[in-house]
Structure 1
């Protein structure tokens, strides 16, 4: 974390005395110097002039005529000081107005000391960094002022005062045709209008926004043609007279030269694909990215089968046409962010990035793209008057991080490619035999999973959820269960969820599987309704992100209830925090529609995701579930204990029940019960079991 500027002076503008006093105390605790307190915008402007603080902490809603946004704009324009807004309002129109003042931070009330500290430190750091950057720009200006390029000087109204021969050559006007006229005659739109605005702003405020900033824009010659140019503006003052100096260079040829240099250096002239040099650069970056993210990458080396025979029979010019068409097809086969390169001859390389963190999944993803390439490149080509069929042989090496050199990876992919040729061509081979086996195993698992769905090989196990009384810790009461899907494969036996849930997500099979789980769980509720012991048990059902995202999810929930006759108030759908990241408004609409039928919602794995508290209070939840990762060490890790207490307090403050999962010891049970957890789930009370075994608990 950044350290606060030593005794940074902060002016607090807040019309609520208690809040201001609390902020004052927090600032002192953090090592800042709260130099003053204002309650009105007008008062704040006066105090800024007198106290010259380093930062202003500004409430938006203030007493008096002027609100915090208006006061902030004046403070910024006059004194260029950083302002951080405090507000209890997050309305779009308020945010839009606040953004116009270019604040250095924005904090929604109520806020924690950590949030306040972070925003203040970042605001002060950014302000200091901006000041250093401005000093660097001024130094650069002095150098640019002496460039021997086109030089034009203008006054504050944009009238040209001098115009050298180099400028005359660039624009095609003589000095007599330009001097005394507005500089806008040398500018096409939209630059002409922008320039008039800059000058008007300078005359009104004295602020010259474009001074010292090198820009590339377009100029307009006498013949009306438009050309790219670089422009640097500096400012000199002689007494009360201000003059702007523009240093201009026509960069047309420079751009053409640089583009040609880059093309020759990094791209294959025949196909337009990256060449070996650019490929190595991208591979290096891909390995660095893999180290940072933990995701695998893959390198494919492919060679066209019998390409030499084509060259020898129809000529190299026809062979070149094939290479160009192959390049086009290859590019269409890969994802955005992947790379296709030509090394030379008929050798191509495909670089895949951001594959799965799991090696077998990464191999499966790479194999899927390789199969797509085999299909596309195996289709007929039209080579002038000739119909021609070509196939590739592809070698693949999957990599993680930078454990191998780039040359080693290319060599391994090359070796795997020759293994593909030896296997009969028009096929794919992995360099690593284990990886090849993993890909085959994963493909076989996908096939078995589809058969399992068709053959109804899935069953539900149930793990009890209990209520524990502080006075009867050893006499828990079962209040419900969580339904957990299991795969009893005819060929594999009982398959753990970790081995098939992710695959079901990737292949879309989670949709029919999830609906089956929902309907089966509802049917079990109906069965339990026949027994007084189980009639009021609740049923928690996990919902996948792809399931919930479907437009017909609400309809599917209604259908499961109507089809089975289950009581909606006993059904509890468990969502994860990661599902709340995208399109929160659509999520709330769906949840409200389902909640209207009586179905409740629980937020699973709470504390491990990124849910915003502002969204959390809008969601129609009834329960938070403390993730097992916090429960596991709650007796030995003070941080986990604090997190557990915080989740309980937060949940209860929002009117929600709180359940803890992963409770395995009596010590965990006693601690969690003591801090107010409403329900428990874990091996201490029962493992997930089939419905028959459940009744023996």
Structure 2
């Protein structure tokens, strides 16, 4: 080599003299063996064609390190026209090659991500689009690069502007968006946006944004399905009882603020049972669906039609009138339309069937009425309409309640029962898949002085309407804990859990936790065997207070079961944010689980939902082997019902539990 600069030593570790003509060492000898032929061919071809050359290759330094170099050179023509020499320069290219490799590796990782990842510039134009984005949206990276994201996947520009502006101002944004694919179909994505400032020396952000998007369309569909199950009647697609209670509560709150009046109407179809008896339930279902549509057509857009169950419908006339007279006139107008609409025969598959409607109405005002009073009064008025000959409507008469002395007598009897210890607890066994008793539900009974045994259905509603339910509930809890402590001291029953129903009125008592703790201490019951059964309406009445109360009780060791699940105000928010351990499938679904596709679908959905959320599930009202087999096949392995045993007195239950241990 004629000349080589001293910089070669810094690059290779060899002094420049090592490559001079007096040395036997050649520069080619330190070129990596895998690259020598490539370098020789490229240099030779360039010189032959009289062109300069540029190439990168690897060197083996004196210390054995591998370095990438970049070489640029060309031929030096001689006096006779030939090539006299080659001249050029070589620089260390290692850092550049390593950086390129890192970029390629990172890009490869992004392309392997299942999520859709893209980058947009300050003008919303796409500068990067990974394979996940290609799969999710349907456009290839080469055809979408440079296009404006906001024009491509958004129907609502406002959604894009909110996400973009928030990311610019706060550095990031996250939320759910509705976007469209290449084929026009809609998708729901969980989207995370991050501001990418590639130039740290710039005074202003670059405006480049990286977005990571996860397809949650399937999850949204499941949520919508659960929402429909929770708030809408599957047969008529009308709002259900839970939905009605929520709207009625909101209507009364709005009325209290505005001073306006509305109305609540109970509508019952006359002689509907005769249709079911003569033509079957399928015909009855068809009529209910048709009746629902006629009811919807008879009210204003602001009003609400709901189905409570069976042939009972409720119409909520929104509080929009300034006076009671105006509200009464509006309610009468709607009721007249409904009576007229229902009087026309319903055309079924191969016959016509005529029914009529009996309607009870009550005017509502947020300043004087409650949800409970409005429902009770409208229901009372409906029965008065039936007593008046059916096919008519009747306003609630406040004086009519004065004649209902039975309630007062019942209330007096309940007070006596508490004083004289007339209440007793019965226990219904809860079984596992091996027909072993795993626990029981404590059920209240009232033994009258005459010896007659009355069920809760005869008196609990009156107790709930008064403060008596609180005292009765505490008696039940104390008695149940005494029994649980006895079971826990015997080897054959120590494993049993005991479920106690807690009313909404009792649960909101401010000293419930303190009283419960005192009862546990006095009785010696291990709270890990105690389970509180709560209704769906309770857990959503006052979500914040309920959550606080449940967490405090959970600290004592008590677990929770959500009773009658699927019949009320089911909410994913409740299941996710409240310390619920178990869902209880209502017996109303079990009656038709083998014959009604809707009931079967609801039961399967509840069991699947329980499994997804890691909750226990138990079914009540199990009366046949077929029902039990259906539940087992669907993944429910805890049962309660007459197939095993009715609610029985303690001495019989203990013997039954030992036999089934």
Q: Over alpha carbons, which structure has the higher Rg?
A: 2
Structure 2 length normalisation: TM-score? 0.49
TM-score (norm 1): 0.47
Larger RCO, structure (CA 8 Å, separation 6 or more) = 2
